[in-house]
Amino acid sequence: MVSKTDDTPASAPPCAPVDLADDAGNGVQDTGECSKTSPEDPCGCGAGAGTAMVNGDGARGHAEELVPKRDGAGDSDGGEEANEQEVIVIQDTGFTVKIQAPGMEPFDLQVSPQEMVQEIHQVLMDREDTCHRTCFSLQLDGNVLDNFAELKSIEGLQEGSLLKVVEEPYTVREARIHVRHIRDLLKSLDPSDAYNGVDCNSLSFLSIFTDGDLGDSGKRKKRGNELEQIDCTPPEHILPGSKERPLTPLQPQSKDWKPTQCLKVLTMSDWNPPPGNRKMHGDLVYLYVVTVEERHVSITASTRGFYLNQSTTYNFNPKPSNPSFLTHSLVELLSQISPAFKKNFTALQKKSLQRNLFERIATPFQLYSWTAPQVDHAMDCVRAEDAYTSRLGYEQHIPEQTRDWNEELQTTKELPRKNLPERLLRERAIFKVNSDFAAAATRGAMAVIDGNVMAINPGEEARMQMFIWNNIFFSLGFDVRDHYRELGGDAAAHAAPTNDLNGVRAYGAVDVEGLYTLGTVVVDYRGYRVTAQSIIPGILEREQEQSVIYGSIDFGKTVVCHDKYLELLEKTSRPLKYKKP
């Protein structure tokens, strides 16, 4: 398993004019000024997600805004007006709209003017009666709504407006997303993804410890007039005084942790990709399914939806079977061909929705457990696809779509923070980009150690090799230049990245305007320590000695200085409690 030491904190700055040159030779920034772009779309995804936090100078600014000035009448009025305006912006009242999905009666949905259309999409994909839909658009009076538009900016959208869910044609990307979503629904109660650290699934034990007794919805058994007692006693071997210390998983397991099986196999067919003539007919992806009733079927995902074809394991016949059951959702098709799937899938969704809300949503950052027990290894097409691709949010279907982490990290730091709403938006964007960077760095570090990434210096010894994957620089925790010979050699070099990371976190917490640090993640995997850093533009095209303008890269033999950098460091000396440089 992966043990991620830490990632850049939510308010950590991304690109630093500090001497972060490591033993592998990764360089640093010239000054605090790097290439920057407009901050309109800070995280590259059109939406910020995560937890808003205010710290450092931002917290003091918040306190000052909420206290009106007393120096004069005019200042006091201005402070009260700013305070009132700020509260109005945050506490914007919501309204109710009606949603009409195909084959369903309209239902009410409470929304906020500051939400985006995309958030309504996500709500529909989480509801029990609409969760099987992924490829659709929302229309108001026949007009398709932009997914990244805020509701308050949509003309004609008001209390009681009717939004129609309209099924859209599939593309290869949308078909794969649909299959992934159905797979996630089928494994919503399976803890294997949480144990293995997949797509921000995390372990949760609330339902286990409460035995389903969650308020009014609790269904705990009764013994006479009293509820059955819940045994919360921890295992004996972890209590004080125990002499045995077995290396066993500490996570409690639910009595029914193996959920009801809906399908035996759902995987990509070996007939993929469709030949040219079938692409002209609209074939996108072929699936192979084995139902609980042991029925083996081949399914075609086309632009119009999903239907059964006549292909077998060794014979390719893409023509529709009779009957073909063309449906826009894979769940609807499987429900028609397998009564057991229809029954078990309905029961699975109801059981999943009985869990607490915080158990159903993904965490904004990935957690990994090295104490995971042995779980059943079932056939999984999504897991198999991810193992042999460099997927990062399905971008493998968009050529050359790799993210510029340094640019994103810097841009979010430059977002305005004059008032509370601006600071909330800024902190959300910073948290989102740093979480994405940590996830990408962890995936890349695993690929590096597994030998799936080519080194940029393949002629060097293995311990001295450096790697670049998805615009992230990777170096190993070895004493490659004998810098730590007198301090412990490789053992000291193994501990040094953690100290570097703590330095990045400290400067990030201060959050001084104009001072940037590298996006930094330290990953422990299979006994190796890997340092992942964002790449400063141009650093790989020039000599490291020409890049460092403050600090030392030879352990103090030569030290360079810069006036502008001293000004920035002077601002951090007081909050970090060190002597001014």
How do beta strands 136-140 and 107-111 pair? Answer: unpaired
Question: Is the overall model pTM greater than 0.85, yes or no?
Answer: no
In the chain, what percentage of residues exceed pLDDT 90?
15
Residue 284, pLDDT score: 93
Q: How confident is the model at residue 212 (pLDDT cuts 50, 70, 90)?
A: low
List all residues 6 or more positions away from 361 whose beta carbon is below 8 Å from its beta carbon: none
pLDDT at 536: 82
Least confident interval from 26-35, 196-205, 466-475: 26-35
Quick: pLDDT tens for 97-116.
889 888 888 888 888 888 88
Mean confidence (pLDDT) of the chain: 75
The upper half-sphere exposure of residue 171, i.e. CA atoms within 13 Å in the direction of its Cβ, equals 6
> Is residue 263 classed as helix, strand or coil in its secondary structure?
strand
Task: Name the token pair of 429.
Answer: 């964007």
Q: How far from 420 is each of 19, 81, 408, CA to CA, in Å?
A: 33, 14, 22
Smallest CA-to-CA distance from 16 within 437, 543, 520 is with 520
Q: In the prediction, which pLDDT does 285 show?
A: 92
| Residue 29: pLDDT over 80 | no
Identify the band that residue 88 occupies on the pLDDT scale cut at 50, 70 and 90.
very low
DSSP per-residue string spanning 476-510: ESS-TTSTTTTTTTHHHHHHHHHHHHHHHHHHHHH
| Banded model confidence at residue 221, pLDDT cuts 50, 70, 90 | low
State mean pLDDT over 44-58: 37
Residue 255: pLDDT band with limits 50, 70, 90:
low
Instruction: Categorize the per-residue pLDDT at 280 as very low, low, confident or very high, splitting at 50, 70 and 90.
Output: very high
Highest mean pLDDT among 251-255, 274-278, 372-376: 274-278
**429 and 48 Cβ atoms separated by less than 8 Å:** yes
Q: Does residue 67 register a pLDDT over 60?
A: no
Rounded CA separation 579/574 (Å): 8
Give the CA distances from residue 255 to residues 194, 208, 276, 348, 469, in Å, rounded to whole numbers and listed in that order: 17, 8, 50, 15, 42
Query: How much is the pLDDT for 2?
Result: 44
**Three-class SS of residue 176?**
helix
Q: 434-454 burial string, b = 16+ CB within 10 Å, else e?
A: bbbbbbbbbbbbbbbbeeebe
Q: What is the pLDDT of residue 195?
A: 78
Which is more confident, 308 or 103?
A: 308
How much of the chain exceeds pLDDT 70, in percent? 75
Structure tokens at 375: 């779980």
Are 127 and 159 a contacting pair, CB within 8 Å?
no
Query: How many CA atoms within 13 Å lie on the side-chain side of 297?
Result: 27
Arithmetic mean of pLDDT, 390-412? 65
The answer, yes or no, to whether residue 211 has pLDDT greater than 90, is no
Instruction: Give 366 or 67, the one with higher predicted confidence.
Output: 366
pLDDT at 66 over 60: no
Weakest mean pLDDT among 75-89, 166-180, 352-366, 436-450: 75-89
pLDDT for the residue numbered 24: 37
Write down the pLDDT at residue 398.
43
Across residues 456-461, what is the average pLDDT? Answer: 85
The residue-averaged pLDDT of 134-160 equals: 87
Query: Tokens for 322?
Result: 């009779």
Which pLDDT score is estimated for 553? 74
Listed ranges 10-19, 48-57, 516-525, 568-577; the one with the highest mean pLDDT? 516-525
Alpha-carbon span 191 to 257, nearest angstrom: 8
pLDDT at 532 over 90: yes
